[in-house]
Every structure is written in C-alpha cells, then in structure tokens.
Amino acid sequence: MDSHSLTTRGAVMAVSGKRVAFLLTKGVEQVELTSPREALEGAGATTVIVSPSEGTLQAMQGDWDHGDVFDVDVPLGEAGAGDYDLLVLPGGTLNADALRQDDRAVELVKDFFAAGIPVAAICHAPWILADAGLAEGRTLTSYASLETDLRNAGADWRDEEVVIDGNLITSRNPGDLDAFNAAIVQALQDTEA
C-alpha cells in the first residue's frame, strides 16, 4: 500500500462521523460550495446545506451566470452550532451580502465561534465576520475588495492563499481552493471525536 492510500485512509477514519454545516443562500459561488464539499465527503465527513432559503437555492458561476440548483438540507432556524464539527462559509457576492444582513445567520456564526468550533470562510464570506463583530483582532484573508472593510472591522488582513488563526480558516478566492480544502480537512481531523 502506498503512502497516499495510507494518508487517505487515515483521513477517512479521522473524519468519519463528523458533520459539517455549509451556511449559504441564493447567489453562492458554486465551486466554493462544491469543491470543499467534495473534499470533506471524500475524507468521510457528512455535509449539510443550512440556509435561510426554502427548498432549493440557485448557485452562481461568478456574479452573473447561473450555476446549478441545490437542495437545502436544514432550514437556518433549525440549525445549531452544537450539531456540527465545522462550519464552512462559501463566498459569492450575492450570497455573502445577503447572509451578513440576516440576523439568524450572524447569530449562528457567533455561536460556532463561542463554542470554539472551526469556521472556514472563503472569498466574500468573511464579510459576515465584520457584521458579527468577530473580525476584530483576527488575522485573516478574503477576496481583495473586502480588505478595507475587514481592516476597518479590526482584522489583520493578509494577501495569502490560506490564513489560519485559531479556529478560523480563510482563503481569498476559487484559485485558493486546494489550500483551503486541505486546511478544512485538517481542521476536521484535529477536532476531538
């Protein structure tokens, strides 16, 4: 058996039985949902879409082109941080802007931080951290256009493909997905069983 098989098997064993919430709504950047989901499920985790959208939601490819439609697994009002081992916040301008204005979404993100559960945000998703009062004193990254907003919210913003600050993992854009995916799988492996 080669070392890749051992590593993969170890990852599957380490995250088997772990549950991951993806918090998103209409306008989510499709690849920022599908790529991390595939990485986590490939490692043995169970993923669920939590959303204020009812029934289904429309993903986007960039800001203008419609992507696929996805089923909502858990309504936002029924989701609790204690039910999950990791929270992933995919980007997409429309998605991120809508979620940061949704009090229930902001409260759920705060609950994950309060519980010390890992939170991973990519692209425009870190916007919600500013609205939740969670960016202050944190080192993070995001889509470049959010730099000023996040610095104004007290964050130490970095232009790096992945930034890990305690239980917070952030990346800039879809070009960083390989590093982002590796970091979130590792964070899930590091959580206690």
Residues noted as catalytic? 123-124
* Backbone dihedral angles phi then psi of residue 14, each to the nearest 5 degrees: -70, -30
Give the residue ranges of DSSP H helices in 85-190.
93-100, 103-114, 127-131, 147-152, 177-190
Both structure tokens of 158 = 């970095």
State in Å, rounded, how far the first CA of the chain is from the last one: 26
| Region at 66 (left for phi over 0; alpha for psi -120 to 50; beta for the rest) | beta
Is there a contact between 62 and 31 (Cβ–Cβ < 8 Å)? no
